[in-house]
């Protein structure tokens, strides 16, 4: 089957009418721009939407094209017609500029909120990692917290050192000694007592030998 021919008639549904107008208007202006680029023509298009809004396209600009048109057609009364067209073009230009301004202002607002969020995250990060700040920059409350944290750390280190230097020995079902898995280091008292026992044994052995 070939492509079905669509009957050209005014669209009755308002929403469909507006969507179709927006698409066709963009296509019309695009084709006009391509024609200017390919052929170097000067063109002016002024379109009134179904809602009464004005849209325009011009190369090099709408005003110069309208002036040239009336210069080449002196029989046309330019008084009311030209004023109406130029006024419509100005309204269209002002509306486009207002839309661009609104978009820029919205983007600025988005960036401002994003900056505030990043600044808040940065401050929260500084608060969470307050102990990383130089001591001379800490307030009294932070210094108290730092002191308490260091005292707690000292207790934990002392406890860990005691457990490492005093391993616990226990036996399994085969009566095999199983030691703590830490790398142990004998205490000074253990070294002294071991040395004393060794000297005593040596002297006793020598005494018996002689």
Reported as a single tens digit per residue, the pLDDT across 133-175 is 666 766 777 778 778 888 888 888 888 888 888 765 444 444 4
**Is the confidence at residue 182, as pLDDT, over 70?**
no
Per the listing, tokens 């661009």 go with: 100
Homologous superfamily in CATH for domain 14-123: Transcription factor, MADS-box (3.40.1810.10)
Is 187 within 8 Å of 166 (Cβ atoms)?
Answer: yes
Using 50, 70 and 90 to split pLDDT, how confident is the model at 176?
A: very low
Reported as a single tens digit per residue, the pLDDT across 87-122 is 776 777 777 777 887 888 888 888 888 888 888 777
pLDDT of 3 reads 66
Exposure string for 23-53, b = 16+ CB within 10 A, e = fewer: eeeeeeeeebeeebeeeeeeebbbbeeeeee
pLDDT of 185 reads 46
Tell me the mean pLDDT in the region 20-47.
Answer: 89
Paired strand residues for 178: 170
pLDDT of 56 reads 84
**Is the confidence at residue 54, as pLDDT, over 50?**
yes
Q: Residue 20: what are its φ and ψ, rounded to 5°?
A: -65, -40
pLDDT of 150 reads 83
Domain boundaries along the sequence of the chain: 14-123, 131-165, 168-210
Return the SS3 of 170: strand
């Amino acid at each position: 089957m070939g492509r079905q021919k669509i009957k050209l008639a005014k669209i009755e549904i308002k929403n469909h009418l507006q969507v179709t107008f927006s698409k066709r208007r963009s296509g019309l202006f695009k084709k006009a721009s391509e024609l200017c680029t390919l052929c170097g023509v000067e063109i002016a298009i002024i379109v009134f939407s179904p809602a009464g809004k004005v849209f325009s396209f011009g190369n090099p600009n709408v005003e110069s094209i309208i002036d040239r048109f009336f210069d080449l057609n002196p029989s046309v009364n330019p008084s009311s017609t030209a004023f109406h067209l130029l006024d419509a073009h100005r309204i269209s230009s002002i509306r486009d500029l207002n839309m661009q301004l609104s978009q820029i202002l919205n983007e600025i607002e988005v960036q401002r909120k994003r900056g505030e969020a990043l600044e808040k995250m940065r401050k929260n990060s500084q608060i969470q990692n307050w102990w990383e700040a130089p001591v001379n920059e800490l307030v009294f409350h932070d210094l108290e917290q730092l002191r308490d944290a260091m005292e707690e750390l000292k207790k934990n280190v002392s406890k860990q050192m005691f457990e490492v230097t005093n391993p616990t020995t226990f036996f399994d079902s085969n009566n095999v000694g199983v030691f703590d898995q830490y790398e142990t280091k004998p205490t000074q008292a253990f070294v002294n007592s071991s040395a004393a026992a060794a000297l005593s044994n040596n002297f006793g052995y020598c005494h018996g030998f002689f």
